[in-house]
Amino acid sequence: MVCLVSRTGRELQRYNNMGGRQVVGCIPYRYKQDIDGNKSNELEVLMVSSQKTQRLMFPKGGWELDESLEQAACRESLEEAGVIGLVECELGQWNFISKRHGTYYEGYMFPLFVKEQLDYWPEKNVRTRVWVCLYLIIYLICMFYN
């Protein structure tokens, strides 16, 4: 049974020793399948729209006191993207300033190998999800930075 309600509020939110909010995200991925269900070696990653715009991003959100980094990553992927899977090794940590709040955040990112994609999930009505070819993302990044 999957909970169809997202967590709300900041009562359990974690902050670092500098007062920065700590967030966790995932890069959900899977191997592309053809019409017959045969898997290829080509990877796809799942991106979701932000709640306020159609800008695509990876699922991420607050890391709370009652969960590990991995648990938070799984929860955010379920709430925002409607996928369940295996969290793998941490990809890294980064610091950024929230455009919305103008405060410092500390983020952690994990790959998530998707095992199940749900038809209904907590933020289905406020987000769109899109599977994108990994090669396309790499190409766009290279074009952007060249």
pLDDT in tens, 54-72: 889 999 999 999 999 999 9
Q: Which CATH superfamily is domain 21-145 in?
A: Nucleoside Triphosphate Pyrophosphohydrolase (3.90.79.10)
Closest CA to 76 of 22, 16, 19, 17: 22
CB neighbours of residue 82 within 10 Å: 24
The pLDDT, as a whole number, for residue 34 is 81
Residue 28 carries which DSSP code?
Answer: E
Q: Where are the domains of the chain?
A: 21-145
**Measured between alpha carbons, how far is 132 from 117 in angstroms, rounded to an integer?**
15
Q: Is 82 left (phi over 0), alpha (psi -120 to 50) or beta?
A: left
CB neighbours of residue 9 within 10 Å: 8
Tell me what the mean pLDDT of segment 86-112 comes to: 89
Q: Residue 33: in which H helix or E strand, if any?
A: strand 21-33
Query: How sure is the predictor about 138, in pLDDT bands with cuts at 50, 70 and 90?
Result: confident
Query: How sure is the predictor about 77, in pLDDT bands with cuts at 50, 70 and 90?
Result: very high
- pTM of the prediction? 0.84
**Measured between alpha carbons, how far is 90 from 24 in angstroms, rounded to an integer?**
10
